[in-house]
Amino acid sequence: MHIDLAGKTALVTGSTQGIGAAIATGLARAGSRVAVNGRSPGSVSDAIERISRDVPGAELLPAPADVTTDSGVAELVKTLPSVDILVNNLGIFEAVPALQIDDDEWRRFFETNVLSAVRLIRTYLPGMIERNAGRVLSIASDSAVVIPEEMIHYGTSKTALLGASRGFAKAAAGTGVTVNSVIAGPTHTGGVEDFVYSLVDRDLPWDEAQREFMRRHRPQSLIQRLIEPEEIAHLVVYLSSDFASATTGGAVRVDGGYVDSILP
């Protein structure tokens, strides 16, 4: 299957590292013009340099902005007034005992993990509907379905993201625009390495720490390993293409079989 996204412009939020950087790289490799987003111009510039090395000739647009704020999105729109593909990847997570999560933390997680996506969909979806073409993808998590006891604020925010994505898909009904969420399973990123070591013995070598983490905290995984960011990116690139024209309103899983359910 050859996926050609030439002529398309994509925005990937939080794309300076981890899953977001892998998605930006995958979309660029498929021929899309990609806006790389992060809070600071320096981190965006560094990410563009890395992606350019992986994808020589890639058309990359720096789009530094804090999309968790109205003012940040307003600045972003000045640089990028319209997009063909919107990937809401930005998200935060942290292990905190449930009874210790205060109101400010709940608000911070929902502002970042939910409202940033809602704000951008509200900004870019009308133009897609008018053009009768476009793709909106929001990166959710297995934690949206299997709420982890060590971070219920994160899991609940991702559950809300699934609901918002389904609702916006209905707003685009009858058009050539699709709106989906992607349920990503436990994924190997730098941030996740820190998270793993917060839950297992820090003296363990990484391979052993990963196995111990999966055994103790994610035993449902059928692949019994962390997913690589590129594996998430492959699904996002497919859902961004014409091949996925009949897939909308879905919560599509790339979770290593972690969620013990036939649907979604």
User: What distance in Å separates the CA atoms of residue 263 and residue 252, rounded to the nearest whole number?
Assistant: 9
Examine the residue annotation and report whether 154 is marked as an active-site residue of this protein. Answer: yes
The CA-based angle 194-195-197, given to 5 degrees, is 65
SS3 for 55?
coil
Sequential DSSP letters for 203-260: TS-HHHHHHHHHHHH-TT-SS-SPBPHHHHHHHHHHHTSGGGTT--S-EEEESTT-S-
From the list 124, 154, 197, 258, the catalytic residue is 154
With a CB cutoff of 8 Å and minimum separation 6, the contacts of 9 are 32, 33, 34, 35, 61, 80, 82, 83, 84, 85
User: What distance in Å separates the CA atoms of residue 235 and residue 87, rounded to the nearest whole number?
Assistant: 12
Cα 252 to its chain centre, rounded Å, is 12
The residue length of the chain stands at 264
Asked whether the beta carbons of 41 and 245 are under 8 A apart, the reply is no
Is the Cα dihedral 144, 147, 151, 153 positive or negative? positive
Known catalytic residues?
154
